[in-house]
Amino acid sequence: MAAMSDDHAALLAFDRDHVWHPYSSALTPSDPWLVESAQGVRLRLRDRDGTAREVIDAMSSWWCAVHGYRVPELDAAARDQLDRMSHVMFGGLTHEPAVALARRLLAQAPAGLEHVFLADSGSVSVEVAMKAALQFHLAAGRHRTRFFTIRGGYHGDTFSPMSVTDPVGGMHALFRGVLPEHVFAPRPPAGLDVPPDDPAMVAWERATTDLYAAHAAEVAAVIVEPVLQGAGGMHVYAPHVLDVLHRLAREHGALVIHDEIATGFHRTGPRWAGDRVDTPPDILCVGKALTGGYLTLAAMLCTREVAEGVSRGAAGGLMHGPTFMGNPLACAVASANLDLLAARDTEAEVRRVETGLRDGLAGARDLATVADVRTLGAVGVVQLREPVRVAEVAAAAIARGAWVRPFRDLVYTMPPYVTSDEDLGTLTAALVGAVADVHG
């Protein structure tokens, strides 16, 4: 990689001047690290002075790379599919990789889900879910155009998902007049184990029930991330909240959409975070870990009732069809990924990671700047009393051997499930050490 190392300053300079990064400014560009390759749970970075450095990826590339990088089974699936075709259109054509993936997804899905829409990103799958809910009611002659959700959520960056993302986190003020206005219940009390009779929970349930009643006739669907709100603030809440939201939706003829783009495929322990309640959703969105982090792919799954209801409308079908819908390469890798998750004892693996994170992050509680430390499945969160100095914490963690990407007041990790106990030790020590180095 000698040529790469000679060029690395030039690459970074061009990047800084011309390439957008997530939520970045052209005036004060972010200062990204150059990744040369990745293998196992490690990223091979170029340090600021040009020296190569290997760090453990504490982020699984934003929840995706659950088996790490250069996974032999996934590499083989991609190569095999490349030898057949990497893409064909899905309008009027179908292919084995799409059908095989749909079969696997439906076999694993919550009860009652029978139809799959293969979308090209998580945000698009949420768009399609919301569109399906609207079309479902329209087809039955009901003018229901609003969605009901809880504050603190995150559902993606395109306009419909943004409109049900937390009003502050989703920058609703910035886009006032453009974003449709949906109905936001308060954020539920923090903690997986908060009992239904806890005073804070009782108050939440009353406020939410009253708010719902005021809008019941216009609500098409309830949309939530079950049990763990991810990018909206890594907030954990009790399954009772889902029970309440499901009951309100049922009582008032609305659908329930579970957005498991971040939580699906065992990230919180069970395959679906929503498995913690008895009632399945009408619509499920999955993405992120679907291809094991290899390619962009997501899916919207729905019940036969929803699928047929939508199809009875004047439009005659679900009005969506992305160019790269059902991309064969992505589907083939996704099937291999689901097979790999099934072949391994993934639930046990996630329990092991959870123990490693809980033990490794516990020391953060002793830091004066730390407000809370929490873990759920293969997710570990250190919440500060102040905004994280993101660039400094990331640099300090890299110096200690891990890649983390904090946001707001949160330094968090959701490592690959295959991270060894020793690497979990290094990773959590790096995370706690970086917080201590920068915030004291």
Ligand X SMILES: *Cc1c(COP(=O)(O)O)cnc(C)c1O
Residue with Cβ nearer ligand X (161 or 433): 161
* Amino acid (1-letter code) at residue 293: G
Closest CA to 136 of 29, 253, 8: 253
Q: What is the CA radius of gyration of the chain?
A: 22
Residue with Cβ nearer ligand X (295 or 353): 295
Q: Hey, which residues between 408 and 427 contact ligand X (CB under 6 A)?
A: none
Residue with Cβ nearer ligand X (221 or 432): 221
Residue with Cβ nearer ligand X (205 or 225): 225
Q: Hey, which residues between 188 and 207 contact ligand X (CB under 6 A)?
A: none
Q: Site for ligand X (CB under 6 A): which residue of 152, 170, 287, 433?
A: 287
Question: Does the protein bind ligand X through residue 123 (CB under 6 A)?
Answer: yes
Minimum distance of ligand X from residue 225's CB (angstroms) = 5
Q: Site for ligand X (CB under 6 A): which residue of 126, 220, 234, 373?
A: 126
Binding segment for ligand X among 88-96, 166-174, 225-233, 372-380 (CB under 6 A)?
225-233
**Terminal alpha carbon distance of the chain:** 38
Question: Does the protein bind ligand X through residue 118 (CB under 6 A)?
Answer: no
Selected catalytic residue, list 57, 166, 259, 409: 259
Residue with Cβ nearer ligand X (46 or 187): 187
Residue with structure tokens 């990223």? 43
Q: Hey, which residues between 148 and 187 contact ligand X (CB under 6 A)?
A: 154-156, 161
Buried b or exposed e, range 175-185, using 16+ CB within 10 angstroms: eeeebeebbbb
CA distance 40 to 142: 51
Decide if 131 is catalytic. Answer: no
CB 263 within 8 A of CB 231: no
Decide if 154 is catalytic. Answer: yes
Minimum distance of ligand X from residue 7's CB (angstroms) = 30
Question: Does the protein bind ligand X through residue 230 (CB under 6 A)?
Answer: yes
Question: Does the protein bind ligand X through residue 259 (CB under 6 A)?
Answer: yes
Minimum distance of ligand X from residue 142's CB (angstroms) = 26
Binding segment for ligand X among 118-126, 174-182, 189-197, 299-307 (CB under 6 A)?
118-126
Binding segment for ligand X among 53-61, 102-110, 117-125, 398-406 (CB under 6 A)?
117-125
DSSP assignment, residue 186?
Answer: P
Selected catalytic residue, list 69, 154, 294, 417: 154
Residue with Cβ nearer ligand X (97 or 232): 232
State how beta strands 34-39 and 42-46 pair: antiparallel
* Amino acid (1-letter code) at residue 42: R
Selected catalytic residue, list 237, 288, 409, 417: 288
Question: Does the protein bind ligand X through residue 122 (CB under 6 A)?
Answer: yes
CA distance 237 to 228: 6
Decide if 288 is catalytic. Answer: yes
* Amino acid (1-letter code) at residue 90: F
Residue with structure tokens 């295959």? 418
Question: Does the protein bind ligand X through residue 262 (CB under 6 A)?
Answer: yes
Per-position x/- string for 5-34, each x denoting binding to ligand X as judged by CB under 6 A, each - no binding: ------------------------------
Question: Does the protein bind ligand X through residue 354 (CB under 6 A)?
Answer: no
**Tokens read off for 206:** 């009353």
Residue with Cβ nearer ligand X (153 or 360): 153
CB 171 within 8 A of CB 156: no
CA distance 51 to 335: 37
Question: Does the protein bind ligand X through residue 121 (CB under 6 A)?
Answer: yes
Sequence-separated (6 or more) residues with CB below 8 Å from residue 349: 266, 417, 418
Beta strands in 331-420 (DSSP E): 370-376, 379-384, 402-403, 410-413
**Tokens read off for 319:** 């009005």
Long-range contacts of 52-55 (CB under 8 A, 24+ apart): 52/1, 52/5, 53/398, 54/401, 55/397, 55/398, 55/401, 55/402, 55/403
Question: Does the protein bind ligand X through residue 291 (CB under 6 A)?
Answer: no
**Tokens read off for 251:** 């009582």
Contacts with ligand X, residue ranges (CB under 6 A): 121-123, 126, 154-156, 161, 225, 230-231, 259, 261-262, 287-288, 298
Which residue numbers are catalytic? 23, 154, 259, 288
